[in-house]
Amino acid sequence: MRMRPATIVFPRTKLVRRGERLIVYDRQGRIVLAATMFLLHLLTYGRSPKTVLQYGGQIVSVLRVLEVSSIALFEVSEDTLLLLQAHALTVRGAKVRSWKNVLSVFLRMLVFAESQGLCHGMIGTNREGSRDFRISLMSGEGVKHELLKQRGEKKDVPDLPADGEFALVEAEMTSAKSWVLRKQRHAMIALLHGGPLRRSELTTFGKADIPSAAEFRCLLEKLQKEGKPPVMEITFWRAKKQRDRRRRAYMSVSLVRQLIEFRDEIRPRLLKEGLDPPELFVSSKSGVGYLPQSITNLVKAAAKVAALKNGEHLKKIRPHFYRHRSATTKIKEYLAAGMDVVKACLLVQAEMDVTFDVMCHYLHIAQEEMNVESPEFMKASTAFDNLAKLRWSLSDVLGGDFRQRRR
């Protein structure tokens, strides 16, 4: 009697990691070929594994809704996309811009499936008066759809938590049972405060980005001999646009010393046998570097526990708020010291590695936190016109948008 091969059964559609490959299974344990081939295609053509993993999660989130609704992948139509949008925005409470990101990746996967012959007549650009495809794309380069044209919400100025609220959340983050994990999280928090880094830069920050112990001693002696402030310049790979460019940050000697001690003494205890990834911070479960979303999840979970323990409603805290806090603090300190607001903003802009518009955003936060009657607030509030004039004068001198020319 022949034995039937065993099958894997999942409670729902699942994304499984096999080495560097990503495989999408439905709940019957069958491979979702279109999604799996699309992710492999992205990896083959040089997309970052972390980016592809994020795309895979977005595709799986859509497939799970289709699965619950008993809609097959290649039966999706324009009406189905509207139902998916209603579920994302109404049931899940997602932001429009977040939904557009998910929809864009999902449509790109369908276009790939159509090009590979996995489906026919499902998605494409319909000729005038024809209905060759169930999902009609707009003409032009790239994947363009009517639902992708809708405008997202205007970004609100975040209501930054107070220092005490940050401290409560950090106390929960560093309350892990393992002392090794506690040490790692202390180092991560210190780097977020002192970098200040984006969450994606925190996860890609390399163990080689900080000097060796011997180099550190030489640099420290040089600073002491020259009578310079105890600050060291550290460079690391930028995590947003222009990822091939390294950016610099000025970190205190104490922070650099803490990172070196973590790398040399604590980090080896977190590594799995045969693995030594280039990232400074590694997951104790997988032994490889963290994903940006993992950092966000860690902060969100700690904030939830902190709110329950302290019996009060804490303001929303996210990893990126550390950058807001750092920029705001620096601007306030410069303005309070009597520095010209334009010079203060340009200095912080260079260190934070942000555009001019983002600096205006940070300056607005600083205004909100200042005393309205204070001279610092009056100086900052009247400086927006000067900042705008500076922006346009720079644009005229450089012959276009100076932000695009900045290196």
How much is the pLDDT for 240? 66
Higher pLDDT, 397 or 183: 183
> Domain end: 256, 285, 310, which one?
310
Same structural domain, 139 and 228: no
Same domain, 139 and 58: yes
Residue 388 lies inside a defined structural domain of this protein: yes
Same domain, 186 and 299: yes
Nearest to 109 by CA among 71, 146, 44, 58: 58
**Count of the separate structural domains present in the chain:** 3
Q: 339 and 261 share a domain?
A: no
Residues 6+ apart with CB under 8 A from 304: none
CA dihedral 32, 36, 39, 41 (to 10 degrees): -130
In a shared domain, residues 257 and 363: no
78 and 201 housed in the same domain: no
> Is residue 315 a part of any domain in this protein?
no
H-run or E-run covering 250: strand 246-252
Q: pTM of the prediction?
A: 0.66
The domain in which residue 140 lies consists of 14-149
How far is the C-alpha of 209 from the C-alpha of 376, rounded, in Å?
Answer: 37
Q: List phi, psi (to 5°) of 24.
A: -105, 125
Q: In residues, how long is the chain?
A: 407
Structure tokens at 285: 């479960």
Q: Do residues 90 and 138 both lie within one domain? A: yes
The answer to whether the beta carbons of residues 111 and 35 sit under 8 Å apart is: no
Question: In terms of domains, do 131 and 167 share one?
Answer: no
Q: Write the pLDDT tens digit of every residue in 103-157.
A: 999 999 999 999 999 988 888 888 776 777 888 888 777 788 888 887 765 555 5
Q: Which of 310, 334, 369 represents a domain boundary (last residue)?
A: 310
**What average pLDDT does range 159-174 have in this prediction?**
84
Would you say residue 136 lies in a domain?
Answer: yes
Distance CA 182, CA 197 (A): 20
Q: Are residues 331 and 374 in the same domain?
A: yes
Say what angle helices 341-352 and 321-336 make with each other, to 10 degrees: 150
Q: pLDDT tens across 264-303, in order?
A: 999 999 998 888 999 999 988 888 888 888 898 999 899 8
Of 94, 126, 149, the last residue of a domain is 149
pLDDT at 334: 76
Q: What is the pLDDT of residue 335?
A: 73
Residues 86 and 34 in one domain: yes
Cβ contact 182:175 at 8 Å: yes
| Low-confidence winner among 142-151, 248-257, 353-362 (lowest mean pLDDT) | 353-362
| 198: in domain | yes
- Tell me: do 264 and 168 sit in the same domain: yes
**Residue 186 domain-assigned (yes or no):** yes
Other beta carbons less than 10 A from residue 377's beta carbon: 18
DSSP state of 38: H
- 156 within a domain of the structure (yes/no): no
